């Protein structure tokens, strides 16, 4: 599945789109690599996955490359999505501009808190969780961003599955149990924090247990 390559794609897209914004018509792998502090060979190998073909001595056609990366990730046609759990993180994600550019369009939020239901957050309506199945079907939404408290994660995920969600972007620390056909991706902030903490610790005290 080439997960490491897939993870690098959005950063390539950012660099290439900036080049486009600057009016450049081509960009080379070494150029992209320099901007991202990678090796050129990594970029070439990764870009090959998108099916793009470059020109020796010149690089890649910027327009083509944007289309190739977007196509590879499925970011051409943006998908509508729900945010489920409108706490501070959920609300922040509802307001995040930039998802549009990443194939994601958040159309509504869901919660059970009467203080939130019926109001809007960043211009998007918040509905009661119980209405999700109905609205998912009506609006043809198959993607959900899960930002409920830990204790609610599994039961709410089951509601989402029931409602026809095919993909769940899981921001809780809970490993979800869902049917095989439902795709889940856990966004694990504590994993990132662990890497930062451990690196810091090793820098300050290089003689601690391990490296």
Strands 124-128 and 143-146: unpaired
Q: Is 211 in the site for its own copies (CB under 8 A)?
A: yes
Site for DNA contains 44 (CB under 7 A):
yes
Query: According to the binding rule CB under 7 A, does residue 36 interact with DNA?
Result: no
- State whether the Cα torsion 8-109-84-132 is positive or negative: negative
Within 10 angstroms of residue 38's Cβ, the number of other Cβ atoms is 17
Phi/psi for 52 (5° steps) reads -70, 150
107-124 burial, b if ≥16 CB within 10 A, otherwise e? bbbbbeeeebbeeebeeb
Q: Taking CB under 8 A as the rule, which mask of x and - marks residues 65-94 in contact with its own copies?
A: ------xxxxx---x-------xxx-xx--
Q: Does 115 bind its own copies (CB under 8 A)?
A: no
Q: By CB under 8 A, is residue 164 in contact with its own copies?
A: no
Please tell me the distance from the alpha carbon of residue 12 to that of residue 65, in angstroms, as a whole number.
Answer: 9
Binding residue (CB under 8 A) for its own copies from 40, 133, 164, 167:
167
Residue with tokens 């897939």: 6
Which region, judged by CB under 8 A, interacts with its own copies, from 22-30, 32-40, 109-117, 123-131? 32-40
Question: Chain centroid to CA 181: how far?
Answer: 19
Q: Which helix (H) or strand (E) covers residue 40, if one does?
A: helix 40-49
Query: Of these, 110, 181, 206, 207, which contacts its own copies (CB under 8 A)?
Result: 181
Contact residues for its own copies, defined by CB under 8 A? 1-3, 6-11, 14, 35-37, 49-51, 71-75, 79, 87-89, 91-92, 95-96, 98-99, 102-104, 122, 143, 166-167, 169, 173, 175, 181, 183, 185, 187-204, 209-211
Using CB under 7 A, list all residues that contact DNA: 1-5, 28-31, 39-42, 44-45, 47-48, 52-60
């Amino acid at each position: 599945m080439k997960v490491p390559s897939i993870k690098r794609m959005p950063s390539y897209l950012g660099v290439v789109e900036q080049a486009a914004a600057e009016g450049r018509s081509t960009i080379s792998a070494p150029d992209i690599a320099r901007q991202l502090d990678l090796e050129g060979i990594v970029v070439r190998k990764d870009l090959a996955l998108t099916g793009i073909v470059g020109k020796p001595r010149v690089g890649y056609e910027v327009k083509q490359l944007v289309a190739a990366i977007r196509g590879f990730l499925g970011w051409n046609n943006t998908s509508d999505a729900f945010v489920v759990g409108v706490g501070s993180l959920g609300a922040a994600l509802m307001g995040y501009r930039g998802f549009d550019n990443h194939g994601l369009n958040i159309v509504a939020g869901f919660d059970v808190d009467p203080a939130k239901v019926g109001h809007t957050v960043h211009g998007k309506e918040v509905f009661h969780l119980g209405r999700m199945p109905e609205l998912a079907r009506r609006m043809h939404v198959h993607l959900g961003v899960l930002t409920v408290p830990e204790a609610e994660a599994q039961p709410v995920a089951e509601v989402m599955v029931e409602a026809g969600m095919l993909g769940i972007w899981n921001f809780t620390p809970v490993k979800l149990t869902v049917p095989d056909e439902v795709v889940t991706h856990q966004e694990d902030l504590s994993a990132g924090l662990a890497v930062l903490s451990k690196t810091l610790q090793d820098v300050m005290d290089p003689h601690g247990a391990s490296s």
